[in-house]
């Protein structure tokens, strides 16, 4: 955590390599503990990107958490190559040790995906989880509670997770919102009004969404604005997580999103701040024994919902 505190840059291009490099040796020291958590891989769709990992809790718990990674819509995978190969096993291991059957799906990426491909993939992974409880247990574990799933996403994963809950219903997806007991959105990119004009993310956004009007309409803020009253009323309670040192534009859109979500749902949107963390570090800290306090607050929030 000392390395993170010394970083002067908040913007994403400047923090990725220093942050990941700081946590790789810490995670390596915990490799045995992370890898001893049972894990199985399943397919939930037709392509290689339609795969997910299930991490099984070490306690007799039936709680289920679906976790969606970020990556700016164009990068990310549930199992990264060495030397970062403990990502995102450290997330699955961390929450499995706290009593959650933890599901981490892949999803299609830009340029091979275009909205709504990514949130549809997230939706399909959740629906797979609901429909296949037999794959969420070990011989010694109780039946999973797939009627009260907790959905958690980070960055682009947070916006894709939220979008998955407000996409137009299909006959197959009618069971999705009623089965989500709580949603944890970590540093979601809910709109892009504050993103600098020359930021390279704009090129990816245009590939994913289209022009500026489509980017606005299909981001979280736009989808929330256009969602019907019945869809909004059926949304679960939401917790927002942000690192203390997020980019200013992400903090601003986070405030705007919380205010708008509270206004539309009439439900309080609570907030957890990852003290001393930047946009990436609070996920990479999981499993290291350092900087995990924010996640303990998330678990307490979930406990209070039950």
What are the tens digits of pLDDT across the range 57-66?
A: 988 889 999 9
CATH number at residue 105: 3.40.50.1820
pLDDT at 2 over 70: no
| Whether residue 290 has pLDDT greater than 80 | yes
Rounded Cα distance, 206 and 147, in Å: 36
* Cβ neighbours around 39 below 10 Å, total: 17
pLDDT the model gives residue 84: 96
pLDDT at position 247 is 94
Residue 169: per-residue pLDDT: 83
Distance CA 38, CA 54 (A): 8
Q: For strands 39-43 and 51-55, give the pairing.
A: antiparallel
Q: Tell me: the pLDDT tens digits for 149-178?
A: 999 999 999 999 999 999 988 877 778 999
| Strand (E) or helix (H) holding 184 | strand 180-186
The pTM for the full model equals 0.97
Range of the domain at 35: 2-305
Place of tokens 């291009």: 13
What does the block give as tokens for 208? 């994913």
Pairing of strands 180-186, 149-154: parallel
Instruction: Specify the pairing of strand 63-68 against strand 180-186.
Output: unpaired
Q: How many domains does the chain have?
A: 1
Hey, is 26 helix, strand or coil? helix
Mean pLDDT of the chain: 94
- Residues β-bridged to residue 100: 63
Helical pair 117-131 and 156-166, crossing angle rounded to 10 deg: 70
Per the structure block, which two tokens stand in for 73?
A: 């819509």
Distances (CA, A) of 150 to 24, 79, 135, 178, 192: 28, 21, 17, 11, 26
Helix (H, G, I), strand (E, B) or coil at 295: helix
Question: 79: which 2 tokens?
Answer: 């199992």
Give me the pLDDT at residue 170, please: 81
> Which distant-in-sequence residues (6+ apart) come within 8 Å of 243 by Cβ?
187, 273, 274, 277, 278, 279, 280, 281, 282
CA distance 43 to 225: 33
Return the pLDDT at 116.
97
Bridge partners, 182 (sequence order): 150, 237
Dmax (CA) for the chain in angstroms is 54
Answer whether residue 91 shows pLDDT above 80.
yes
- Give the end-to-end CA distance of the chain in Å, rounded to a whole number: 32
Cα 201 to Cα 97: distance, rounded to the nearest angstrom: 35
Please report the pLDDT score of residue 173 as a whole number: 78
Provide the pLDDT for residue 1.
65
Categorize the per-residue pLDDT at 195 as very low, low, confident or very high, splitting at 50, 70 and 90: very high
pLDDT one-digit tens code per residue, 201-245: 999 999 999 999 999 999 999 999 999 999 999 999 999 999 999
Q: What is the mean pLDDT of residues 263-284?
A: 96
Confidence of residue 306 (pLDDT cuts 50, 70, 90): confident
What does the pLDDT read at residue 200?
Answer: 92
Render the burial of 120-148: b for 16+ CB within 10 Å, e for the rest. Answer: bbbbbbbbbbbeebeebeeeebeebbbeb
Both tokens of 105, joined, read 């799906």
Question: pLDDT tens across 238-273, in order?
Answer: 999 999 999 999 999 999 999 999 999 999 999 999
Residues 3-45: pLDDT tens digits? 777 776 777 777 889 899 999 999 999 999 999 999 999 999 9
- As a whole-number percent, the residues of the chain with pLDDT over 70 amount to 98
pLDDT, residue 293, reads 97
Structural contact between residues 104 and 52, judged by C-beta atoms closer than 8 angstroms = yes
């Amino acid at each position: 955590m000392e390395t993170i505190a010394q970083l002067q840059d908040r913007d994403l291009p400047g923090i990725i390599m220093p942050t990941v490099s700081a946590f790789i040796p810490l995670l390596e020291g915990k490799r045995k503990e992370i890898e001893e958590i049972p894990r199985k891989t399943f397919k939930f769709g037709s392509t290689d990107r339609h795969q997910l990992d299930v991490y099984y809790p070490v306690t007799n718990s039936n709680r289920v958490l679906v976790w969606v990674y970020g990556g700016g819509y164009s990068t990310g995978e549930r199992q990264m190559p060495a030397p970062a190969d403990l990502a995102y096993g450290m997330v699955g291991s961390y929450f499995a040790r706290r009593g959650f059957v933890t599901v981490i799906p892949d999803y299609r990426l830009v340029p091979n995906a275009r909205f709504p491909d990514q949130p549809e993939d997230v939706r399909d992974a959740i629906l797979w989880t609901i429909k296949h409880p037999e794959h969420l247990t070990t011989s010694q574990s109780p039946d999973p509670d797939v009627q009260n799933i907790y959905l958690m996403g980070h960055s682009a994963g947070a916006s894709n997770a939220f979008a998955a809950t407000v996409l137009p219903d299909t006959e197959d997806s009618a069971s999705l919102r009623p089965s989500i007991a709580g949603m944890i959105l970590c540093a979601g990119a809910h709109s892009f009004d504050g993103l600098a004009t020359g930021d390279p993310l704009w090129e990816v956004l245009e590939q994913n969404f289209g022009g500026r009007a489509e980017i606005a309409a299909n981001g979280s803020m736009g989808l929330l604005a256009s969602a019907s009253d019945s869809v909004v009323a059926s949304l679960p309670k939401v917790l927002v997580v942000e690192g203390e040192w997020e980019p200013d534009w992400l903090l601003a859109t986070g405030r705007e999103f919380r205010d708008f979500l509270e206004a539309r749902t009439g439900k309080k949107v609570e907030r957890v701040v990852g003290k001393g963390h930047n946009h990436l570090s609070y996920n990479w800290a999981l499993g290291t024994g350092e900087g995990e306090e924010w996640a303990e607050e998330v678990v307490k929030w979930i406990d209070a919902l039950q």
